[in-house]
Structure 1
Amino acid sequence: MSVNNNEILYIYDAKLTNPNGDPDEENRPRMDYEREINLVSDLRLKRYIRDYLMLKGYDIFVRLVDDKPVTADKRVKDLEDSSNEWILENWIDVRMFGATMTVQKDTKTFIGPIQFNWGYSLNKVELLEASITSHFSSSETFAQGTIGKDFRVKYSLIAFSGVVSGHRAEKTKLKEDDLYLLDEALKHAIPNLVTRSKIGQYPRIYMRVEYVDKETILGDFRDYIELKTTTDSIRDINECSLEMVKLVNLLNENKNKIKNVYYFVDERLELNINGEKVTFEEAFKELPLKKVD
């Protein structure tokens, strides 16, 4: 069965952690300082997905080999068969996100059908800066440990928008099962792939709206939700809620274009319709819903 267009809303939060360090800013969390908004690149999100796929036993193209980074050229040369058909059949991340790989003088380019915008926080974010001391000295002549900086967000509720192109899916041979794996990864990857700088992040809501054709695009779902808070400076998911009425109306008005809505919602996230608390199932009761396990 061929893949049609899909649109995605994905929101997770980050508490006393660094969602996406900027190497040009001493690894501080990426920020839009003028608006006090935390930013996370699409590459960071794709990295979570790729790492989860590897955890599940899938081979991928963008990875380390023997714990060492290798060039795209080396990654392909190491294989006996690097035909387009072999690549698309064996590397799920190429089917999902595409890739550009150079083999001698030949450049293979696959445009990925699954793309995400940069994520941004729905709330204003404050940064926490702390000094950290290593127990190891910087050299044999200095017995004292080195001192560095540790930058984290106090709290950030980060929203991503994504699109699956049905036409591009044909080119990369994206499978419906690949999208089920994407759903699974976006539910489980972040909490299962924690590091010291990433612990404290949890998925809160995900919805993938599958359309009936390869033409429909309704727009960035983030434009149709509104964060409501109980304080000017939130520190926990319990201090905010999401007003969903505009998104519900958008999807209901276009329900004839929608085949399925795949979703999960964390029970701690409060959803509202015109200020009244509702469940996801109540909010989108007019649509065909399929819960992601």
Structure 2
Amino acid sequence: MTQLRHRYDFVLLFDVKDGNPNGDPDAGNLPRVDPETGQGLVSDVCLKRKVRNYISLSRAGASGYDIYVKEKAVLSAQQGLAYAALNLKSASTSEGDEAAEAEEPSAKGGKKGKAKPESTSKASDREAVDRARDWMCRHFFDIRTFGAVMGLKENNCGQVRGPVQITFARSIDPILTQEHSITRMAVATQREADAQGGDNRTMGRKNTVPYGLYRAHGFISPQLARQTRFEEPDLDVLWESFRQMFEHDRSAARGMMSLRDLIVFRHESELGNAPAHRLFDRVLVERRDKNLPARDFADYAVRVEEAPSGVTVLRPAA
């Protein structure tokens, strides 16, 4: 395995056509929007979910590519895998054992006494948590990539700050949310059918964005990568995930979503050769004709200005 020796900053450009890229549960699942600017938003959690889903699909059963945060997962049980593999005793288990020992009869008088439990030093507790955390990083791709808070009372695995961080995505222009009435030629219950006299129709609503081009920014730290063992092969898998994550996440609600560009700035040094915001400013996305509403990626022009010394521009999605 090869350690990460470079800092990376990247720009993700993706679009949606006639779909809802990320519904807001606090707003009736309407597309997320900045109320002041009208620009559409897609949360970082939404994007990470798509990466996780692709890894689960493409690396199913592969060692080191399990997913920690997945549908219907019980996180304490996921962390219990580390304790079982390393033959460690979890904090909750040891507390239960100590309580049982305290109620045992004393050896002399036969009376119940508070037997002094065998003490466990804080240093050894920290060592167990550190070992469990390292095991979780080795076996779960999303932990060593995005990090995780695993400081649960049961099977405590500490906390990991991930080397890969992604911002909210924001649309280049304000979006227009359209509401559509839809009809289902069936009802859920016989009572509904009787009430309609056999018409058997169910009305509903569907919200879509006619078109939106979204932009998200990302950062990769080689220092944090060493702590989680995120290495060059993992980086290749991450780029692959970005390229494919929309291809395997189709649904009627999301319409047509596609990755349009992935622009990566690779720094020669681990600490970086230029501030991230100055690199992002070199990625210019402009609408070709501002008098017409955008309805396709071809309505935009994407230009990347020359990178400063010590920074190389890569296009892994090309």
Structure 1 residue 262 displacement after superposition: 4.0
Output the CA distance in 1 between the equivalents of 2:275 and 2:147: 23
Q: Structure 1 residue aligned with 2:231, among 175, 198, 213?
A: 175
Give the aligned length: 254
Structure 1 residue 260 displacement after superposition: 6.2
- Do residues 115 (structure 1) and 165 (structure 2) align? yes
SS across alignment from 2:181 = strand
Query: RMSD across aligned C-alpha pairs, in angstroms?
Result: 2.0
1:200-211 correspondence to structure 2 within 5 Å: 200-211=256-267
Letter in 1 for 2:311: I
1:1-293 correspondence to structure 2 within 5 Å: 1-3=2-4, 4-57=6-59, 58-64=65-71, 69-78=72-81, 80-81=84-85, 83-101=132-150, 102=152, 104=154, 106-143=156-193, 144-216=200-272, 217-220=274-277, 221-224=279-282, 225-230=284-289, 231-242=291-302, 244=303, 247-249=304-306, 251=307, 253-254=308-309, 257-258=310-311, 261-265=314-318
Output the CA distance in 2 between the equivalents of 1:261 and 1:25: 38
Task: From the two aligned structures, give the one with the greater strand fraction.
Answer: 1
For the 8 Å contact 1:159–1:222, the answer to whether it is kept is no
For the 8 Å contact 1:11–1:158, the answer to whether it is kept is yes
Structure 1 residue 41 displacement after superposition: 0.4
Letter in 1 for 2:85: D
How much identity, in percent, do the aligned residues show? 24
For the 8 Å contact 2:239–2:317, the answer to whether it is kept is no
Q: Deviations over 1:194-225 (max 9, x none)?
A: 11112301111112222122211532354331
Output the CA distance in 2 between the equivalents of 1:109 and 1:56: 27
Structure 1 residue 92 displacement after superposition: 0.9
* Unaligned ranges ≥5, structure 2: 60-64, 87-131, 194-199
Letter in 2 for 1:8: F
* Greater RCO, 1 or 2 (C-alpha within 8 Å, sep 6+): 2
For the 8 Å contact 1:124–1:233, the answer to whether it is kept is no
